[in-house]
């Protein structure tokens, strides 16, 4: 009796098969296959029987098996380091939604930072024969790009600098130059930058563009760097920028932060440890417009990256590349809209 219950329990956990649908509908197994194949020849009344039986049984087509037969897995790899951090988390969320709506199966590969983690991530990505790979900003190594190319996978880069690939990028330089112009035009004379020592290409682009624009307007820029572009990194940058002799002449009166997480860490440290008022003593501009930027505790002035638009652009690149593998690489550069809140003075 116990064995019979165990076997029934196991059977109950199995997926409903096409053969079960055929039996319930009173049709052949091939009729079920034709009913779920777009454009296949099947009588309307037969298709109606199949669909009704499938609905009652809870049947779904085995897309994985179909993909293997067609040599097209529908899996799309999303390669990312620290997908849970800051703007990257919202971009991964938008990408997975966009891919599911396309009919793809997103496979998020967290590359980690240890060699063992990197090898495991590579094995997962290429072992499942993903039909394409999207590589996000951060620090997934160039070895992923090289392996994808050797395996003939279409590659979509977001916020990266590799050549001969389709790219989606935000206009980092344009936004950073605008930040410098706004701060100078509003009377700030002691500009600072909060960044990281080992910056990704996107963050390095923001740092360089801000510094160059400020210098072109006759300003010098003091740099404070954290270890990572995180909340703790922003606090470390604040310590580097504000822990001098405390004189107003030398202390920065405006800071451009390479992302919102650093800006939030810097603001908390500036207020709590150095007793500075934002924006009366120090104006702050961030980058990304993560949800926390709009919180009442910060009301951060920033530049918005729209994760939904970036995901839409990445999927459009993917469709184009799969349809025409030999098309020349395309770069789509999206504008970062200026969002003014309470960490900057209007004039």
Are 92 and 160 within one domain? yes
| pLDDT value of position 314 | 93
Contact 286, 263 (CB under 8 A): yes
pLDDT: which is higher, 89 or 116 = 89
Please give the Cα distance from 41 to 162 (Å, whole number): 47
Average pLDDT, the chain: 84
Domain co-membership, 151 together with 228: no
Predicted local confidence at residue 8, as pLDDT? 47
Of residues 319 and 5, more confidence is placed in: 319
Tokens of 274: 């150095």
Residue 65: its pLDDT value, please? 53
In a domain, 24, yes or no: yes
- Kindly report the length of the chain: 347
pLDDT level of residue 140 (50, 70, 90 thresholds): low
Residues 40, 128, single domain; the answer is no
| Per-residue pLDDT, 10 | 43
Residue 226 in this model has a pLDDT that exceeds 50: yes
Residues 289 and 323 in one domain: no
Q: Among residues 118, 120, 159, 132, which one has the least CA distance to residue 78?
A: 132
The CATH number of whichever domain residue 12 belongs to comes to 1.10.260.40
Strand locations in 159-289, DSSP E? 166-170, 191-196, 221-226, 254-257, 283-285
Q: Are residues 241 and 277 in the same domain?
A: yes
Cα 261 to chain centroid distance, Å, stands at 15
Check: CB of residue 255 under 8 Å from CB of residue 284.
Answer: yes
**Band of residue 69 on the pLDDT scale cut at 50, 70, 90:** very low
On whether both 117 and 48 belong to a single domain, the answer is no
pLDDT-based confidence at residue 164 (cuts at 50, 70, 90): confident
Percentage, residues of the chain above pLDDT 70: 82
**Encoded tokens for 227:** 């270890």
At residue 239 the predicted structure's pLDDT band, cuts being 50, 70 and 90, is very high
Q: Is residue 278 part of a domain?
A: yes
pLDDT band at 70 (very low <50, low <70, confident <90, very high): very low
Is residue 275, in this structure, part of any structural domain at all? yes
**Do you find a cis peptide bond into 272, omega within 30 degrees of 0?**
no
Q: What is the CATH number of the domain that holds 136?
A: 3.40.50.2300
Burial string for 272-284 (b: 16+ CB within 10 Å, else e) reads: eebebebbebbbb
Assign 304 a pLDDT band (cuts: 50, 70, 90). very high
Identify the pLDDT of residue 62. 59
Say if residue 146 is in the same domain as residue 217.
no
Mean pLDDT for 52-78 is 68
Place of tokens 């510094």: 211
Residue 121: is its pLDDT beyond 80?
no
pLDDT above 50: residue 9: no
One domain, residues 97 and 14: no
The answer to the question of residue 347 being in a domain is no
User: Please, which residues have CB within 8 angstroms of residue 339's CB and are 6 or more apart in sequence?
Assistant: 289, 293, 301, 302, 303, 304
**pLDDT, greater one: 7 or 279:** 279
In a domain, 68, yes or no: no
When pLDDT is cut at 50, 70 and 90, the band that residue 295 belongs to is very high
Q: What is the pLDDT of residue 138?
A: 64
Q: Are 151 and 127 in contact, with CB atoms under 8 Å apart?
A: no
Q: How many domains does the chain have?
A: 3
Q: What pLDDT digit, counting tens, does each position of 170-218 carry?
A: 999 999 999 999 999 999 999 999 999 888 888 999 999 999 999 999 9
Same domain assignment for residues 178 and 290: yes
Domain that holds residue 51: 2-59
The per-residue pLDDT for 115 is 63
In this structure, the answer to whether residues 256 and 137 fall within a common structural domain is no
Interatomic CA distance for residues 241 and 250, integer angstroms: 10
- Residue 266 contacts by C-beta under 8 Å, 6 or more apart in sequence? 194, 234, 235, 237, 238, 241, 255, 257, 284
pTM for this structure?
0.78
Burial of 39 (0-12, 13-18, 19+ CB in 10 A): exposed
Look at residue 311 and give its three-state secondary structure. helix
Query: Looking at residues 301-321, what average pLDDT do you find?
Result: 94
The pLDDT value recorded for residue 325 is: 85
Could you read off the pLDDT of 276-292 as tens digits, one per residue? 999 999 999 999 999 99
Q: What is the DSSP string of 188-200?
A: --SEEEEEESS--
- The per-residue pLDDT for 196 is 93
Separation between Cα atoms, residue 260 and residue 231, nearest integer Å: 9
Give the confidence band of 108 by pLDDT, cuts at 50, 70, 90.
confident
Which pLDDT does position 155 carry in this prediction? 85
Q: Cα separations (Å) of 201 from 162, 167, 170, 180?
A: 10, 13, 12, 19
């Amino acid at each position: 009796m116990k064995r019979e219950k165990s076997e029934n329990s196991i059977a109950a956990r199995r997926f409903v098969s096409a053969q079960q649908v055929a039996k319930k509908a009173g049709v052949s197994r091939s009729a079920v296959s034709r009913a779920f194949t777009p454009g296949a020849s099947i009588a309307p009344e037969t298709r109606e029987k199949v669909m009704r039986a499938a609905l009652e049984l809870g049947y779904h087509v085995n897309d994985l098996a179909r993909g293997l037969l067609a040599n097209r897995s529908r899996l799309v790899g999303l390669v990312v380091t620290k997908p849970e951090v800051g703007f990257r988390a919202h971009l991964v969320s938008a990408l997975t939604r966009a891919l599911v709506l396309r009919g793809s199966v997103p496979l998020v590969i967290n590359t980690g930072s240890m060699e063992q983690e990197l090898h495991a991530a590579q094995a997962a990505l290429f072992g499942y024969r993903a039909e394409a790979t999207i590589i996000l900003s951060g620090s997934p190594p160039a070895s992923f790009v090289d392996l994808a190319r050797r395996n003939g996978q279409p590659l979509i880069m977001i916020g990266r600098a590799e050549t001969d690939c389709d790219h989606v990028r935000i206009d980092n330089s344009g936004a950073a130059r605008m930040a410098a112009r706004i701060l100078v035009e509003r009377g700030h004379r002691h500009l600072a930058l909060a960044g990281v020592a080992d910056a990704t290409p996107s963050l390095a682009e923001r740092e360089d563009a801000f510094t160059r624009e400020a210098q072109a307007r006759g300003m010098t820029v003091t740099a404070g760097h954290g270890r990572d572009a995180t909340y703790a990194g922003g606090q470390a940058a604040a310590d580097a920028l504000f822990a001098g002799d405390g004189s107003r002449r030398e202390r920065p009166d405006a800071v451009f932060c390479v992302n919102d997480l650093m800006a939030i860490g810097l603001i908390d440290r500036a207020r709590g440890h150095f007793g500075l008022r934002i924006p009366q003593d120090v104006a702050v501009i961030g980058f990304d417009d993560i949800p926390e930027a709009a919180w009442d505790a910060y009301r951060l002035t920033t530049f918005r990256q729209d994760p939904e638009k970036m995901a839409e652009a990445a999927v459009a690149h993917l469709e184009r590349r799969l349809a025409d593998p030999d098309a020349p690489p395309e770069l789509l550069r999206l504008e970062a809209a200026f969002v003014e809140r309470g960490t900057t003075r209007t004039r």
